[in-house]
């Protein structure tokens, strides 16, 4: 897979991933903007409103019919929190022309034009979004916010993040806040949208079996021509400042049969290189079936079915997740603490290190074989303003030794212990 990137205008980049491995082409537009309390709900609303209609496709029904007509091109939107940024993501995945029953259609061209129109030329009435659409999407956003509680494991994780980042951008919920909704009207929101489009970082991705003229197709598109140059307003992930923290223990009650224990860890790294070490640390602690958490909490003590940890490299934090019998809280917590301690003492083997390396390298090797993963990888690089190829990434992992991992283990500090019980 060839990754090429071109700055079309200042602040707007076009990335191509040329590959013949897939039956589909994947076209994506990402808008990145700083997370802040004032605009978080507006951004969520915009990401939902843009799906409702564009200049020539005035309703969701028209958009859907057009996509269905294109052999079920799938149009999708996402809203992500990546470091201290809120990222609005728009995708269309469509069958490559080689796999159509008739060969005379140029689906990719229509796909590109449609998505650019949806994102940059929305349906407007009287200098504002359509009021009816806005009211419906407010209802939708409200439901998303209230829906936080439906998946108890995800809810517990969100709560732990909120506790760890009180009054900080990263503690914000990506769908925003219900109390904001009443204050937002269709005209002001449209003004805000113009502002967003003029200042956010824009990344356009196209992955698939591409012809040479795709670049022209993008650059000569009217919607692209209308975009201004900008100094993109987004947050490049920094090495977090070290803070001396006290463990914060939070317990909440809800109607659950299984308790959810989430532990948030700060990893006080000194430089970017240590992010790779932390990835290895996390893998040994709770990143796989061979990890300390899985082996000790699940396999030996039989306390849980889920016992794992996840590393969030943009914020240099790790979350430990487990679902346990509520009465086993003390046992489970003690056992988890013990695993963190074991890591500090360096009580893990060369074999565990090798195994973790193999697992991580295998994951890097699959990037080329998954269309969306390829895009996610290069977008992550883009946002971090780094340019590490897959080969270099693998080399960095191969070069990590035990001292590096113990070094990280001693930079790990428990920040928040969150427990959801009945």
Partner 1 sequence: MQIIENLKVKEKLYIEKLQNGLTVMIVPKPGMKKKYMIWGTNYGSNDNKFIVPGEQDVTEVPNGVAHFLEHKLFEQEDGTNSLDTLTALGVNANAYTTNDHTAYLFECTDNFYEAMDELMDYVQHPYFTDENVEKEKGIIGQEIRMYDDYPEWRVYLNTLEAMYHENPIKIDITGTIETISKIDKDILYKCYNTFYHPSNMAMVIVGDFVPEELLKEVKKRLVKKEAAGEIKRIYPEEKEEIVKPEIVQKLEVSNPIYTIGIKDVKKCDNKDKNELVKKHISMEILLNIIFGRSSKLYQDLYKEGTIYGEASLDYEFGKNYSHVLITGMSSDPRKVFKAFKERVEELKNNGVDKSDFERLKKMIYGNYVREYNDVQDIARMFLSDYFKGICSFDYLEEIEGINVEYLNQVLKDVFKEDKMVLSIVENG
- Go through 298-331 and write b for each residue having 16 or more CB atoms within 10 A of its CB, e for each that does not: beeeebbebbbbebbbbbbbbbbbbbbeeebbee
Residues 7-26 that bind partner 1 (CB under 8 A): 20-24
Q: What is the DSSP string of 251-282?
A: EEE-S-SSEEEEEEEEE--SSTHHHHHHHHHH
Which of 90, 102, 106, 64 is closest to 206 using CA atoms?
90
For 24, the token pair is 């589909």
For residue 139, state whether it binds partner 1 (rule: CB under 8 A).
Answer: yes
- Quick one: which segment of 198-206, 219-227, 318-326, 334-342 binds partner 1 (CB under 8 A)? 318-326
Shortest Å, Cβ 362 to partner 1:
4
Cβ at position 413, least distance to partner 1 in Å = 28
Q: Is 95 in the site for partner 1 (CB under 8 A)?
A: yes
Which lies closer to partner 1 via its Cβ, residue 70 or residue 164?
70
CA distance 6 to 20: 21
What residues numbered 363-392 form the site for partner 1, per CB under 8 A? 365-366, 368-371
Asked if 209 is part of the footprint of partner 1 (rule: CB under 8 A), the reply reads: no
DSSP conformational letter for 72: S
For the CB of residue 99, give the shortest distance to partner 1 in the complex, in Å: 5
> What residues are paired with 13 via a beta bridge?
7, 203
Residue closer to partner 1 by CB (options 164, 367) is 367
The reply on whether position 335 binds partner 1 by CB under 8 A is: no
401 interacts with partner 1 by CB under 8 A: no
- The span from the CA of 282 to the CA of 267, in Å, is 10
d(CA 405, CA 320): 18
Give whichever of 124 and 306 is closer to partner 1, judged by the CB atom: 306
| 75 Cβ neighbours under 8 A, 6+ residues apart | 51, 63, 64, 67, 90, 91, 92, 114, 115, 118
Among 306, 333, 384, 388, binds partner 1 (CB under 8 A): 306
Residues in the chain: 422
Query: Least distance to partner 1 from the beta carbon of 35, Å?
Result: 23
Q: Would you say 32 or 328 has its CB closer to partner 1?
A: 328
Contact code string over 265-304 relative to partner 1, x by CB under 8 A: -----------------------xxx----x--xx--xxx
Q: How far is the CB of 130 from partner 1 (least distance, A)?
A: 11
Mind giving me the DSSP string for 301-332?
A: T--EEEEEEEEETTTTEEEEEEEE-GGGHHHH
Compute the least distance from the CB of residue 257 to partner 1, in Å: 5
| Binding region for partner 1 (CB under 8 A) | 20-24, 59-61, 64-65, 67-73, 93-95, 98-99, 101, 132, 136, 139-140, 143-144, 146-153, 254-258, 288-290, 295, 298-299, 302-306, 323-325, 351, 354-355, 357-359, 361-362, 365-366, 368-371
């Amino acid at each position: 897979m060839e990754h090429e990137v071109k700055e079309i205008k200042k602040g707007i980049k076009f990335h191509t991933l040329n590959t013949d491995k897939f039956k589909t082409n994947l076209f994506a537009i990402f808008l990145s903007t700083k997370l802040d309390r004032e605009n978080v709900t507006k951004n969520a609303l915009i990401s939902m409103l843009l799906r409702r209609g564009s200049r020539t496709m005035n309703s969701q029904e028209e958009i859907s019919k057009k996509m269905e007509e294109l052999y079920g091109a799938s149009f999708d939107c996402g809203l992500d929190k990546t470091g201290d940024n809120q990222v609005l993501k728009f995708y269309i995945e469509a069958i490559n022309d080689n796999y159509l029953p008739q060969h005379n259609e140029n689906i990719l061209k229509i796909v590109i034009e449609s998505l650019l129109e949806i994102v940059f030329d929305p349906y407007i009435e009287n200098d504002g979004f359509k009021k009816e659409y806005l009211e419906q999407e407010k209802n939708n956003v409200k439901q998303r916010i209230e829906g936080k509680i439906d998946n108890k494991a995800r809810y517990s994780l969100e709560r732990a993040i909120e506790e760890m980042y009180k009054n900080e951008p990263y503690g914000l919920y990506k769908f925003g806040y219900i109390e904001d909704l009443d204050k937002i009207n269709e005209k002001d929101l449209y003004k805000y949208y113009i502002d967003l489009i003029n200042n956010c970082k824009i990344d356009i991705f196209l992955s698939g079996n591409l012809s040479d003229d795709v670049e022209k197709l993008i650059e000569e598109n009217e919607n692209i021509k209308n975009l201004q140059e900008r100094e993109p307003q987004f947050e490049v992930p920094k090495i977090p400042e070290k803070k001396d923290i006290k463990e914060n223990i939070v317990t909440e009650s809800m109607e659950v049969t299984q308790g959810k224990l989430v532990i948030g860890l700060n990893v006080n790294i000194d430089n970017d290189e240590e992010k790779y070490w932390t990835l290895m640390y996390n893998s040994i602690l709770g990143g796989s079936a061979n990890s300390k958490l899985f082996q000790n909490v699940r396999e030996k003590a039989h306390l849980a079915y889920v016992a794992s940890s996840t590393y969030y490299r943009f914020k240099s934090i790790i979350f430990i997740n487990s679902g346990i019998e509520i009465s086993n809280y003390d046992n489970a917590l003690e056992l988890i603490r013990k695993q963190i301690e074991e890591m500090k003492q360096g009580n893990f083997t060369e074999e565990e290190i090798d195994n973790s390396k193999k697992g991580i390298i295998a994951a890097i090797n699959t990037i080329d074989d998954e269309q969306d993963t390829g895009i996610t990888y290069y977008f992550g690089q883009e946002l971090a303003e780094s340019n590490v190829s897959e080969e270099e990434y693998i080399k960095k992992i191969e070069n990590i030794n035990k001292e590096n991992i113990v070094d990280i283990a001693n930079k790990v500090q428990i920040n928040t212990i969150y427990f959801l019980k009945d």
